[in-house]
Amino acid sequence: MLHLLRYGLLGPFLLAAVPAVSAAQVDRAPARTSTSLRTLLGQTAAPGRRAAPVQLRSSAASVAWVQRIAVNAPAGGLVNSGFTSWLLRLTVPATGAEEVFTLHVPGTPLGVPRPLLVGFHGFGVSHLDFSYFNTDFIQVAASRDWLVLAPAQFNPATGTWDNSWASAASQLHVEALLDYVMSHWSVDLDRIYGVGFSMGGGNALSYAARHRDRDLGAFAAVINHTGSVCISDVYANNPPSATCNPGDLNPVQAEMRDTFGTPPPSFAYQRSSLIDLDANGQLIAGGRHMAVNLADVPVRTHYSNLDAIGYLREQSISFHGFLQPRPEMSSSLIVETLSVCPSGSCYAPSEHCWDILDPTAACDWLSLQTLEAAPPRGELLADRDARWGGLDVELHEQGSFGAAAYDFSSFPPTVQLLGRENLRRVTADLEAYGLDPDAGFDLVTSGADSLGTEFVFSDVSAPPLQVTRGTVAVAQVCPLPVGTKPPAWCYDAATRELRIWEGGAGSVSWRIR
């Protein structure tokens, strides 16, 4: 069944409660709300506990309405005065589409870097589910002097924001919002946090696993509340007939095919998931698990053992079971055993609600987390050219994963990159891993394919005196030949880079002295 309220009655209520906004008014400088979005939405008191979750209906009418009351994000940032929450919109150049979002800016002086909390809403609703209707995260985070961002997560493939499923296109929108916030406010880059519920839990985790560049807003920690961490498993559990209301059709599979271009399995589903499950919901040994990229990201997963959506309970257990045995991971699992949610209804399954998660306790835990240095060992699963911790990766073939296991050891200085797959170039920042690039080191590598990899080691002040591959000395060849080539190396004095080309599929050791 659908696991969030999809067809609510609140949209007409809000349309009546909020004055119409003219096109001219939309382009004005944004007016500050009083204590939160509640003033803008016509209600100054907290909504309070309801008989069932009440959320913004993501119909075409409500999408258009939110776009009308949202104001353009000013290019120069916002003039701040007091406790301030804004409903803004921003055109994303990468997609040409518009992203609507809530932004809370503390009322204190903005020169001091402060944490940023990014909240991801669930399926069937908008970002207002997080920032207004069903959580107090903005109020709790504001009391700590944090910035808070709630993206709508627009899905260009479906033209709405309630069904993004961590798609690569919807994550481009989150990237654009983080860039906007970091460009206009002083953000503590070591204390950017993600929190999400249901689809949003999976979206928060997927964003964390796919974005490990500190300068671009890598998450320091994530709280996952019953997240959809395997998209193909969600697809399998939501056939058109899986609906509690006779005459309705469950739209999840059709929307996922629109979003990802095909039914699962495919690269598009795997890159937006954290774990790879088989048809029986079991972890696939050797599967494409994007969660391997969370080696430096503490994760806390919550779910209720009374949650009516059994497959999401099982996904939470499997996800924690994947992370917990790995020494480089930090994962905890918190299970609610009491009934805490409002009464369930057809499209609001029992015990599947934000109330499972206490915002104060969540922010207490997040406040203890800071972005760690690039982990010296772990696994890499790259779905595109990007920076992954201390590694800049370029792929041979886009639309396929690049993979390897890595280990940077100081005693003796050794770089291992084993089981290389689809890696055209890997640039390593040795200092980020505690190695001195001028002290010499060993490179141990093996390939799972015969495509070959160019290794680039930066900030090397002088060419090495001797380079051997196995027991054979290798002469310098500059520049490195283009295309298929034998093992070779080159030192570029202009860029202070040492480049090594290795094309073999077997295991081999290089010694740089």
Q: What is the pLDDT of residues 167-179, one digit of tens each?
A: 999 999 999 999 9
| Mean pLDDT of all residues belonging to the chain | 84
CB 222 within 8 A of CB 143: no
The amino acid at 380: L
What integer pLDDT is reported at residue 70 of this predicted model?
A: 63
Q: Which tokens is 379 given?
A: 């696994």
| List of residues 6+ apart from 494 with CB closer than 8 A | none
Which helix (H) or strand (E) covers residue 116, if one does?
A: strand 114-120
- pLDDT, average across residues 465-484: 88
Q: What is the pLDDT of residue 376?
A: 93
Reported confidence tier of residue 44, pLDDT bands at 50, 70, 90? very low
> Cα separations (Å) of 463 from 138, 254, 416, 472, 500?
53, 57, 21, 18, 12
At residue 395, does pLDDT exceed 80? yes
Read off the pLDDT of each residue in 157-182 and give the average, rounded to a whole number. Answer: 94
Q: What are phi and psi of 463, to 5 degrees?
A: -65, 150
Report residue 47's pLDDT band, with 50, 70 and 90 as the boundaries: very low
> What is the residue type of 146?
W
Q: What is the pLDDT of residue 77?
A: 63
Radius of gyration of the chain (CA): 24
pLDDT at 76: 61
Q: What is the pLDDT of residue 418?
A: 97
236-295 pLDDT per residue, tens: 999 998 877 777 888 999 999 999 999 999 999 999 999 999 999 999 999 999 999 999
Residues 61 and 14: beta-carbon distance below 8 Å: no
- The confidence band for 428, taking pLDDT boundaries of 50, 70 and 90, is very high
User: Which one is predicted more confidently, 284 or 161?
Assistant: 284
**39: pLDDT strictly greater than 70:** no
CA distance 53 to 46: 14
pLDDT tier for residue 483 given thresholds of 50, 70 and 90: low
Q: What is the pLDDT of residue 484?
A: 61
Q: Which of 12-21, 54-63, 458-467, 501-510 has the highest mean pLDDT?
A: 458-467
Question: 406 pairs with which residues across the strands?
Answer: 378, 417
Q: Give the model confidence (pLDDT) of 302-333 as tens digits.
A: 999 999 999 999 999 999 999 999 999 999 99
Confidence of residue 69 (pLDDT cuts 50, 70, 90): low
Q: Which H or E element spans position 490?
A: strand 488-492
**Distance, CA of 466 to chain centre:** 43
Average pLDDT over residues 70-95: 73
Residue type, 137: F
Q: From CA 349, how far away is CA 344, in angstroms rounded?
A: 5
Least-confidence region, from 71-85, 94-108, 299-313, 447-461: 71-85
CB atoms under 10 Å from CB of 409, counted, come to 17
What is d(CA 57, CA 54) in angstroms, rounded to the nearest whole number? 9
The model's confidence at residue 127, banded by pLDDT at 50, 70 and 90, is confident
Report residue 348's pLDDT band, with 50, 70 and 90 as the boundaries: confident
Residue 78: per-residue pLDDT: 58
Q: Which residues pair with 132 in a beta bridge?
A: none
pLDDT of residue 38: 32
Q: Name which residue leads in pLDDT, 99 or 349.
A: 99
- Could you tell me the pLDDT band of residue 182, with boundaries at 50, 70 and 90? very high
pLDDT of 66 reads 59
Q: What is the DSSP letter of 303?
A: E
What is the enclosing helix (H) or strand (E) of 169? helix 168-184
What pLDDT, on a 0 to 100 scale, did the predictor assign at position 131? Answer: 84
**Greater confidence, 480 or 45?**
480
